Structure 1
Amino acid sequence: MPRVKKFNEEETLNKAMCLFWRNGFHATSMQDLVNYLGINRASIYDTYGGKKELFDKAFAHYRTTSRTQLKAFLESQESVKNGFKKLFENGISEAVCDTERKGCFVINVTTELVPNDEEMLNVIQENKVFMECTFHDFLQTGVDSGEISATKNLKNLASILHTFYNGMKVVSKTDPNEEELLTSVDTVLTLLD
Structure 2
Amino acid sequence: MARPRSFDEATVVRAARDTFWTKGYAATSLDDLTAATGLGRGSLYNTFGDKEQLFHRALEDYCAAADEGLRADLTGPGSGRAKVEGWLRASAESVAADEERRGCMLAKSTAELASRDPVVVARAHATLDLFQDLLTDCLEQARREGELLADADPRGLAGMVLAVGRGMEALGKAGASAEELRRIAESTIAALPRP
Q: TM-score, normalised by structure 2?
A: 0.92
Counterparts of 1:20-39 in structure 2, within 5 Å, are 20-39=20-39
Let me know the Cα RMSD of the aligned residues: 1.5
- In structure 2, the partner of 1:43 is 43
Counterparts of 1:158-173 in structure 2, within 5 Å, are 158-173=158-173
Could you list the runs of 5+ residues in structure 1 that have no partner in the other structure?
none
How many percent of aligned residue pairs carry the same amino acid? 26
Q: Is the 1:81–1:189 contact (alpha carbons within 8 Å) kept by the matching residues of 2? A: no
Q: Which amino acid aligns with 2:150?
A: A
1:149 to partner: Cα distance: 2.5
**Cα-to-partner distance string for 1:97-147 (whole Å, 9 max, x where unaligned):** 222110011111121112233442333233322221121112122123222
Counterparts of 1:1-193 in structure 2, within 5 Å, are 1-192=1-192, 193=194
- Which sits farther off after the overlay, 155-164 or 117-126? 117-126
- Which sits farther off after the overlay, 183-192 or 25-34? 183-192
Q: Is the 1:30–1:51 contact (alpha carbons within 8 Å) kept by the matching residues of 2? A: yes
Could you list the runs of 5+ residues in structure 2 that have no partner in the other structure?
none
- Which sits farther off after the overlay, 86-95 or 26-35? 86-95
Cα distance in 1 between the residues matched to 2:96 and 2:77: 23
Residues matched between the structures, number: 193
Find runs of 4+ consecutive structure 1 residues off by over 6 angstroms. Answer: none
Q: Is the 1:104–1:169 contact (alpha carbons within 8 Å) kept by the matching residues of 2? A: yes
